[in-house]
Structure 1
Amino acid sequence: MKKRALVICPGRGTYNAAELGYLRAHHAAHGDIIATVDAVRAGKGQVTVSQLDSADKYTPSVHMTGDNASALIYACAMADFAAIDRAQYDIVAITGNSMGWYLALACAGIVDLAGGARLVNNMGGIMHQHGTGGQIVWSIVDDDWKISQDKMFFVSNLLKEVQTASHINVHISIRLGGMIVFAADDAGLKWLMERLPKDDRFPLRLMHHAAFHSPLLNHIVPMARAENPMTDFGAGEIPAIDGQGRIWSPRAFSHEAIYDYTLGAQLTDSYDFTRAVQVAAAEFAPDTIIVLGPGTTLGAPTVQALIASGWRGLSSKADFQARQQDEPILISMGMAEQRAWAQS
């Protein structure tokens, strides 16, 4: 009997030095997908994802910028999606984190492969050229991946303080499982780094990232709509859950509505990845959650979101690790030892 699978698509920041050569190593059989993305890039005079992936070394100033990273991640994730063994898994729903919403649209069939490549590539270029501000990540969980009420109280007070400070712009960009991602202008970024309690990892400033999912990107909306036509959006084949936890069921929404969200609120409002995962898990009852590569950073936030909602009685990091040994709850295709579980 097939297992029901929820697929989760990665966002920016997931193709790093360890992922160099990902397409070459894992997807020789999916040359058609890579060729489609390459053609979109070549048509705009850009270096292809094949060339980026086969570089001799990883160069942050090249591989991490939005105009290149976005298309690379798209190609890797779509090839991973195509590699999932449909004889083992019935894919019942798709969601993603941040830029991962564009990937989810393609996986769900709301845009086709080439349309998704154009959308991702266009948005990566616009953000690279016109994005403002930046992002900072801060953890809100304890060592066992349970939400710390003290940290949540601190965030609440921080946001109240921001409302009275006219010289800074700070917003919640993404609710990412056990982390809060803040979006801010330059003054706000400096203020956050001074105000947020520090440990050996957080607060973490994300390099080459603009103030995604905040009003600081209001100016991007008309540019995005000018570059991406509504005609690229279709009816879909698999339910997709967006960054507000809303379900877009196949043939049950208008092109105008999903276009308005994707190139509107998705850019300027907070992205609640936590809620998206919780809704998808509750409504579609997956047996397994498959996180597409590249990268391995989205597994922990996914599990943290499930712990917060008590999905199937999941209560802690230790509980997850014990269950994972018995029968995998989560498969991260960015991990060599796990991707084989998802493929034939």
Structure 2
Amino acid sequence: MSARKTALVVAPGRGTYGKGELGSIARIHGTRFAELIASFDAQRRDRGQPTVTELDGADRFSVATHMRGDVAAPLIYSATALDFLSIDRERYDIVAVAGNSMGWYSALALGGAVSVEDGFRISNAMGLNSQAHGPGGQILLQVVDEDWRPVPSLRETLLRLAPAIAARPDHALALSIDLAGMIVFAGNEAGLAALLAEAPPTPGRDPLRLAGHGPFHTPLMVGSSDKAKAELPPALFGAPAIPMVDGRGHIWRRFASDPAAIWDYSFGHQILAPYDFACSVQVAVKEYAPDVVILPGPGDTLGGAIAQSLIGVGWQGIASKADFAARQAVDPVLLAMGRAEQRRIVTGTE
């Protein structure tokens, strides 16, 4: 009987490479993965873009630069892919992969549907393509209390409000990402302004306009979808080696997935329709019953959404923030590689 633990790996998306992550790619991976980083740099150089090494090695973190899609995407992909390759496979049997929003493009490479180099090509291109959209952006709202329990009727009220606003002339607003304890809406400026004016009070934090984000996962992104399908051919894709759970909760299984269909989803539905991250995590844990969930870097900010997704289905009896914290203290179910002590466990360098 194998001593390895089974693991679900969840790739993070936009907003996870911040000031604290500056320099981390070189510091953590520069020696072991120098050749692979050089290949990423070459792709950027060929397109006349600053390299990953240059961006990661900047003297200071710049919100105007590092949070821009064409910079954030390749940095996040690089950190995620290199962390994934650092997982000690003698300790962990990876049974499935998932990702949040842009993290789906990382998941394609983690799952083996595309090569690691082509995964960078896709993420880099989508960082640029994500800027091809109509006017608008995203707003994040919290729908759980401080113990991560749902506030009665708040989610349902917001989900009714969005289509009512969208029905008004010149207003666009729709669910963008479901993060379990938080939900993200996207739309044009009129739709976002109406949401901010009419949303009921939310716990914990005020509604947050996500800096530098477009109206992702809505039809306003049709320009991004068209550019992606024109630039990134189906030939990049193959069947996954590890099951991949997408933003609908659909499982792309080994030996039973059409590469052309993965391509079509990745550059169609994934861009233009809501991304149900909570569902993807919940489907993955119920289908594959992993011993642990591994969150690669950069950062660890997606950890709360993963925990809240587990709470949403009472995974292994975890029903609240307090339950989750107690479990983490004695037998962690979530291992975030952005945390040094948990990285050592995942990489076998304790």
Q: Tell me the equivalent position of 1:192.
A: 195
Secondary structure in 2 aligned to 1:219? helix
Judge which range, 107-116 or 198-207, deviates more.
Answer: 198-207
* Counterpart mapping for 1:230-241 below 5 A: 230-241=234-245
Task: Give the conservation status (yes or no) of the 8 Å contact 2:171–2:188.
Answer: yes
The answer to whether structure 1 residue 9 and structure 2 residue 6 are counterparts is no
CA contact (8 A) 1:288 1:330 kept: yes
Structure 1 letter corresponding to 2:138? Q
Aligned pair in 2 of structure 1 residues 254, 157: CA closer, same or farther (>3 Å)? closer
Measured after TM superposition, the shift of residue 14 of structure 1 is 0.6
Partner of 2:317: 313
Cα distance between partner residues in 2 of 1:230 and 1:171: 29
In the alignment, which residue of structure 1 is the partner of 2:122?
119
Q: CA deviation at 1:32?
A: 2.5
Change (3 A) 1:163 1:210: closer
Structure 2 residue aligned with 1:72, among 75, 78, 86? 75
Give the distance between the partners of 1:158 and 1:20, measured in 2 at CA.
Answer: 39
Letter in 2 for 1:215: P
Contact 1:24 1:53 in 2 (8 A): yes
Structure 2-normalised TM-score? 0.95
SS at the partner of 1:90? strand
Letter in 2 for 1:47: P
8 A contact 2:162–2:195 mirrored in 1: no
How much does 1:154 deviate?
1.9
Q: Please list every run of 5 or more consecutive structure 1 residues that lacks an aligned counterpart in the other structure.
A: none
Residues 1:279 and 2:289 are matched in the alignment: no
Task: Provide Cα deviations, 1:213-242, integer angstroms capped at 9, x if missing partner.
Answer: 111112322211011011000112100000
Over aligned residues, Cα RMSD in angstroms?
Answer: 1.3
SS at match of 1:218: helix
Question: Structure 2 counterpart of 1:306, which letter?
Answer: L
Distance 2:72 2:167 in 1: 36
Separation (CA, whole Å) in 2 of partners of 1:320 and 1:213: 30
* Residue in 1 that maps onto 2:175: 172
Query: Does structure 1 residue 23 correspond to structure 2 residue 6?
Result: no
Q: 2-side partners of 1:308 and 1:237: how far apart? A: 29
Deviations 1:136-162 (A, max 9, x none): 100011111122222123213312422
The partner residue of 1:151 within 151, 154, 157 is: 154
8 Å contact kept, 1:132–1:217? no
Taking the aligned partners of 2:223 and 2:49, their CA distance within structure 1 comes to: 25
Q: Secondary structure at the residue paired with 1:86?
A: coil
2:231 aligns with one of 227, 232, 239: 227
Is contact 2:26-2:57 (8 Å) kept? Answer: yes
Measured in 2, the distance between the counterparts of 1:284 and 1:184 equals 35
For 1:220 and 1:129, the matched residues in 2 are separated by: 5
Q: Secondary structure at the match of 2:284?
A: helix
Q: Which moved more, 1:184-193 or 1:174-183?
A: 184-193
Identity %: 46
Q: Distance in 1 between matches of 2:233 and 2:82?
A: 24
- Give the counterpart of 1:87 among 86, 90, 97: 90
C-alpha contact (below 8 Å) 1:36/1:113 kept by paired residues: no
Equivalenced residues, count:
344
Tell me: CA distance 1:4–1:276, structure 2 relative to 1, closer, same or farther (3 Å).
Answer: same
Aligned partners of 1:2 and 1:90 also within 8 Å: yes
Q: Which residue number in structure 2 is paired with residue 183 of structure 1?
A: 186
Aligned partner of 2:106 among 80, 103, 106: 103
**Aligned match of 1:332:** 336
Question: Is the contact made by 1:245 and 1:275 (CA closer than 8 Å) also made in structure 2?
Answer: yes
Distance 1:217 1:160, change over 3 A: closer
Separation of aligned partners in 2, 1:132 and 1:35: 36
- For residues 262 and 321 of structure 2, the distance between their equivalents in structure 1, rounded to whole angstroms, comes to 35
Q: In the aligned structure 2, how far is the partner of 1:24 from the partner of 1:131?
A: 36
Task: Please list every run of at least 4 consecutive aligned residues from structure 1 whose deviation after the TM superposition is greater than 4 angstroms.
Answer: none
Query: What is the one-letter code of the residue matched to 1:102?
Result: Y
Q: 1:96 to 1:145 in 2, by over 3 A?
A: same
CA distance in 1: counterparts of 2:179 and 2:102, whole angstroms = 13
Deviation at 1:5, TM superposition (A): 0.4
CA contact (8 A) 1:134 1:185 kept: yes
Q: Say which is worse superposed, 156-165 or 6-15, in terms of deviation.
A: 156-165
Q: Which residue of 1 aligns with 2:131?
A: 128
Q: Which amino acid aligns with 2:68?
A: T
Spell out, residue by residue over 1:67-103, the C-alpha distance to the aligned partner (whole angstroms, 9 max, x if none).
1110000000011001111110000000000000000
